[in-house]
Amino acid sequence: MPNFQVSVVIENKPGISDPEGDTILNDLVLKDKNTNITQIRSGTILKFSITESNEQNAKDSIIKICDELRIYNPLVSKVTATVDEI
């Protein structure tokens, strides 16, 4: 069976405050005069290596694990998963 790398990006949903992104934005604008940057959203990336029969099964397995372990709060977080064969 092939090996896959599943990258899971967890970020706050639109409309939910993002203090880390706001801090980075303020530092960029205040310190470096990058006034053309108007918003930064931060997030967390988790990379899983998994052996599965195909890409969709790899993605589904990892999302199921993340859901079961409550790695993110579905009320405030948006989760995106991408799969690459390794």
Q: What are phi and psi of 9, to 5 degrees?
A: -105, 125
Q: Is the pLDDT of residue 78 over 90?
A: yes
Supply 84's token pair.
Answer: 């690459």
The CATH number, out of the four listed (3.30.420.280, 1.10.15.40, 3.30.1280.10, 1.10.760.10), of the domain defined by the range 3-85: 3.30.1280.10
pLDDT digits (tens, 9 = 90+) for 45-71: 999 999 999 999 999 999 999 999 999
| Nearest Cα to Cα of residue 70 among 21, 14, 17, 10 | 10
pLDDT digits (tens, 9 = 90+) for 41-51: 999 999 999 99
